[in-house]
A and B are shown apart, each in its own frame.
Chain A
């Protein structure tokens, strides 16, 4: 343990002048996940413009989300919030017949202090449709944290576990069921369930479920575990409000993360994992072709979606050198096990523990990138093309939130993404060698 203390992670905090997606973007994947939902984003033209452009083609597929666009009368309180929202929600109820309406509060509703939490229960009774309020705004949160606010709000709606004493007493340690939180695409849900079933662990439910009506019951004594590193509010809510027990584990991203995630659950249920090591080893050997492309190469995370720690840990295990892990927000308690695994991985691979930069400053980061010349920068689209034009390979970070990256099966997909710019460049060598390099004069 002494080794880990002198290699303990260094955390820095910069100015917070960085580029990321607005947290309301979570509606784009959540409306697809929760099939009977409708997401109403209560905000301005700016929010709408972001959604319409960021979601590109999806916007034309009759999405189950819309803007409640605030007008001057709403801002100056000439219009009654309750009546206005009622009118829109009735319209949605009529046109789409959703099972639940989510209200996504934005910066504007915060500033004008629109009492969404106060209005919702009244309106809910009035129109006979559940309304869940989540404040996913750019004042407080970044990108994926939007999902966190929605799931935290949903956690309140999970039915309580019926206190069935006989079962509880008898099966206290033998029930071996766990509730998983975090929105994942269906194939990933199936894959992770399969892995856990193999260890004789049952999944009692997922938050979120496929339909609002299928939300799992959660109560005191239930074990919960997260699949994504950005779900700290949800974790807190489940612990404090639902009195559930949180299993703290690294996240099932990469074969190492997935193994640790499963092992940690097994440990809680006092199960000796069966064939887990072998499974991990097999996955690693299947990845060798990709790993050989990146071994010894360096990577720089500018930071925008909170997956950075887990991805960096996986890439270090793949033999990469991580210069910097930028991250919007760092919950050291919720991500505790992940940070620990990161440390162990660094020791194992005999590399320096990378610097973790919270609330990074993109301008300063670009300076450091110029100095360090990493082989790969993982960044948002605002910087990707300009960096490419300066001879620096980039991978667009948002793809990691939309691609399937969890579990053993999808480890390959992560490396597929990571190696894509490198493979692309190998293909283009004939035309682009030496064309795009860092200019000697600072032409930025």
Chain B
């Protein structure tokens, strides 16, 4: 048993449902107790979805517990088949139902004999994989199922398109800014003169999955979902794939270079160098922005980064290499992608944190006191408590991170978006400067913004007054550094002198 207040990623069935509800005309049936269909609420509220979420539950109640599901699941499958006429029905086990150890596969096979639609059982273990891993697996499972089917029916089309083309794999419902990213990705490929063969699973039809091999290569923008599918297509059809996330100028460049290389291997010589240069210089404002004098004030500012592997790694790279910001540590809750993440950020920051315990992250932030945080909703709340600004860069998120306006994180427009986010998260340059000069506009005595304030050390009234003159956003840090210093010198009263001494000795 584990004491838990908060989770970064949800249970496995959420991942499966995100895949199912992304496809067009696919219906998921959860084998679940009453109340487990909370996914529908999330989708309907967060994405402000206008259509009914194609997820229903085959309710596990007391009777099911006593006698087994018997015909119930099968009846629910065949009923949904008639009512909704979907192309595919996915039976999804939940934490609860998976301990019942009913032979769901058998139900699926029996139901499939009566249904017009295809029926499959989501193959995920609820006690071993989380939401993200489950989404990756389910997507692979569905693609694999339809490729097999196409093979059997001899409808598999492996004839490559005339012009270079790509499949974009892993754009999901409830994904962090996925819809906006997709717009920018489409633009990118249009600029590169590459056709888009298929985008899956977003709004895709399972009937057309047999056409996936027509593309020249595959593109996986996010590591969390799609890699398994890309690997499957690579082994089955020898399709190369790009798994660099085009987030930030450097990553976009790498992405385009890899694409160029793949095309070259396929005897299509393209040179995108001047395109990259032009975009970097004029379309994206980010490079110029970091060069502009206003951003000089960001030099030496510190930040921490935490989120899913994709966004956290890319953000760290942007902060360090594109904005000149000091990243104290970077981390991810994607424990299964640990190795990749470490490799990616190891030269960019002092420490790498791999954990899914938000308490640990909270303590780390309190201890390292960055000038800004880039994380999830949880880090935003930690930041609020510690009075440290936070830019949200990754799921889990709230409704405000499903904005109506166009806010991609990927592509060249994404770089502008991110530059704004970074810059606005730090106190604005001039304001920062003036606050320093005039002792801040905040004259309240609120100086206890520590997570665990232990006041063993006394402050003299003069010293306190001095402390209050220090701008709010660094006051906590000065206070703690002075206290640390006083403890090391075994002072128990902080006078003005001690404060000055501390400032001289400690580089705060």
Contact = CB atoms under 8 A, between A and B. Distances in A.
Q: Do A and B bind each other?
A: yes
Interface of A: 16-24, 42-46, 48-50, 52-54, 56, 59-60, 63, 66-72, 74-75, 79, 84-85, 87-88, 91-92, 106-108, 110-112, 137-143, 363, 366, 380-386, 389, 443-444
Residue from A91, A92, A143, A381 whose CB has the most chain B CB atoms within 10 Å: A381
A29 to B, nearest CB: 16
Contact of B34 (A22, A56, A69, A382): A22
A48 B44 contact: no
18 contacts: A17-B58, A44-B95, A45-B11, A46-B13, A59-B5, A67-B2, A67-B4, A68-B3, A70-B1, A71-B1, A71-B127, A138-B33, A380-B41, A386-B44, A386-B49, A386-B52, A389-B51, A444-B52
B61 A16 contact: yes
A25 B42 CA distance: 16
A67 B95 CA distance: 15
A383 B3 contact: no
Nearest to A44: B95
Contact of A139 (B4, B58, B60): B60
A72 B128 contact: yes
B6 A59 contact: yes
A102 to B, nearest CB: 15
B263 interface: no
B395 to A, nearest CB: 12
Nearest to A43: B95
A42 B1 CA distance: 9
Interface in B94-148: 94-96, 99-100, 126-128, 130
A49 B38 contact: yes
B59 interface: yes
B13 to A, nearest CB: 7
B57 interface: yes
A138 B49 contact: no
B446 interface: no
Interface string B27-65: 000001111111011101100111111001111111001
Contact of B127 (A42, A72, A92, A444): A72
B352 interface: no
Nearest to A95: B3
B61 A139 contact: yes
A429 B196 CA distance: 41
A139 B83 CA distance: 26
A23 to B, nearest CB: 7
B368 to A, nearest CB: 21
B68 interface: no
Interface string B406-422: 00000000000000000
A427 B10 CA distance: 39
Contacts of B100: 111
A71 B126 CA distance: 10
Contacts of A139: 33-34, 60-62, 65
Nearest to B43: A382
A381 B59 CA distance: 19
B34 A142 contact: yes
Contact of A74 (B1, B65, B126): B1
B7 interface: yes
A49 B61 contact: no
A79 to B, nearest CB: 7
Contacts of B42: 53
A44 B45 CA distance: 24
Contact of B36 (A42, A59, A138): A138
A49 B48 CA distance: 20
B80 to A, nearest CB: 9
Contacts of A107: 33, 60, 96
Contacts of B128: 72
B1 A66 contact: no
Contacts of A67: 2-5
A385 B45 contact: yes
Given A45-B95, A71-B2, A444-B51, A54 B38 contact: yes
Nearest to B37: A19
Contacts of A45: 7, 10-11, 95, 126, 130
Contacts of A69: 1-4
B145 to A, nearest CB: 25
B398 interface: yes
Nearest to A384: B44
B381 interface: yes
A137 B33 contact: yes
B83 A46 contact: no
Nearest to B12: A45
A68 B126 contact: no
A194 B185 CA distance: 64
